[in-house]
């Protein structure tokens, strides 16, 4: 599917706005990181803290003030039908389990769809004060400096990342088999606990590939365009087109993509 037409000037303005919102939300999360937190559960092992909610409220308020006709889709329930072609897809705290345990890998993720295609995205890591951003046809950056994916061509020398969905204990297809198979092929695999961060670290060359199952739209909306604008590739496991509603994601530096596909799609038995 071709990308919708939008000028670079418009894209930069939207990225700047999203960056401001991410910085503000990140400050809220940073303030609460070492505090005792009120935690409730949306599922058996799926937590939410008051800081998820405060972060989302801050971002949504800024969007409604600046772009009152834009649509919204956010992890903690904020949703609004758009009267324009734009929709913001928001994860106010990606890595909530980490955050609740004071494990310092978490972030704010804000992506923007135009006519169903992601055209801008930012991910802010408050602990390292790192802002990853990208927009259609303007490239990807980390704190304002251009980033590109790695050039590693060999899977045996590649560092990968993955994750496990909250349904791991009941889903027949739960990534454990894929993890075991990939562990025998790659140099190493990490499980940081934030898909948005995994995608940004791939975009900046810290990782060479990433795969996961059962992510939500807000998990990948921003990271998708950051990887693509950094020169990476994002598909489903079999190489078919990925969108933020897909059940599976494979992202790489492009040079490793076919090798990763062969491992993930090797006569999977369900």
**pLDDT per residue of the chain (270 residues) written in tens, 0 to 9:** 566 789 999 999 999 999 999 999 999 999 999 887 777 766 554 577 889 899 999 999 999 999 999 999 998 776 666 678 999 999 999 999 999 999 999 999 999 999 999 999 999 999 999 999 999 999 999 999 999 999 999 999 999 999 998 776 777 788 999 999 999 999 999 999 999 999 999 999 999 999 999 999 999 999 999 999 999 999 999 999 999 999 999 999 999 999 999 999 976 444
The C-alpha atoms of residue 203 and residue 194 are separated, in whole angstroms, by: 14
The C-alpha atoms of residue 91 and residue 221 are separated, in whole angstroms, by: 9
Q: What is the pLDDT of residues 108-127, one digit of tens each?
A: 999 999 999 999 999 999 99
- Domains of the chain with CATH codes: 8-146 (3.30.540.10), 155-264 (3.40.190.80)
Q: What is the pLDDT of residues 54-91, one digit of tens each?
A: 999 999 999 999 999 999 999 877 666 667 899 999 99
The C-alpha atoms of residue 72 and residue 13 are separated, in whole angstroms, by: 18
Q: Are 207 and 163 in contact (CB under 8 A)?
A: no
Residues 6+ apart with CB under 8 A from 154: 256
Given this model, what pLDDT does residue 35 score?
A: 80
Within 10 angstroms of residue 185's Cβ, the number of other Cβ atoms is 15
> Which residues face 43 on adjacent strands?
46
The C-alpha atoms of residue 97 and residue 99 are separated, in whole angstroms, by: 5
């Amino acid at each position: 599917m071709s990308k919708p037409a939008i000028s670079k000037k418009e894209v930069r303005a939207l990225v700047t706005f999203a960056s401001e919102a991410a910085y503000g939300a990140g400050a809220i999360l940073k303030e609460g990181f070492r505090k005792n937190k009120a935690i409730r559960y949306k599922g058996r092992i799926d937590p939410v803290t008051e800081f998820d909610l405060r972060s989302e409220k801050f971002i949504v308020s800024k969007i409604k003030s600046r772009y009152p006709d834009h649509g919204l889709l956010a992890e903690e329930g904020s949703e609004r039908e758009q009267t324009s072609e734009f929709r913001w897809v928001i994860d106010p705290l990606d890595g909530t389990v980490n955050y609740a345990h004071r494990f310092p890998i978490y972030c704010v993720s804000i992506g923007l769809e135009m006519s169903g295609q992601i055209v801008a995205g930012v991910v802010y890591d408050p602990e390292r004060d790192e802002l990853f951003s990208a927009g259609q046809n303007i490239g990807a950056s980390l704190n304002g400096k251009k980033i590109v994916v790695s050039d590693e061509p060999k899977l045996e020398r590649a560092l990968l990342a993955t994750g496990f969905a909250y349904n791991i204990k009941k889903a027949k297809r739960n990534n454990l088999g894929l993890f075991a198979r990939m562990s025998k092929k790659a140099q190493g695999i990490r499980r940081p606990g934030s898909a948005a961060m995994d995608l940004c670290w791939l975009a900046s060359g810290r990782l060479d590939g990433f795969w996961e199952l059962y992510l939500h739209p807000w998990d990948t909306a921003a990271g998708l365009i950051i990887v693509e604008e950094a020169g990476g590739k994002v598909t489903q496991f079999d190489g078919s087109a990925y969108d933020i509603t897909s059940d599976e994601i494979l992202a790489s530096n492009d040079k490793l993509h076919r090798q990763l596909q062969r491992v993930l799609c090797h006569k999977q038995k369900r």
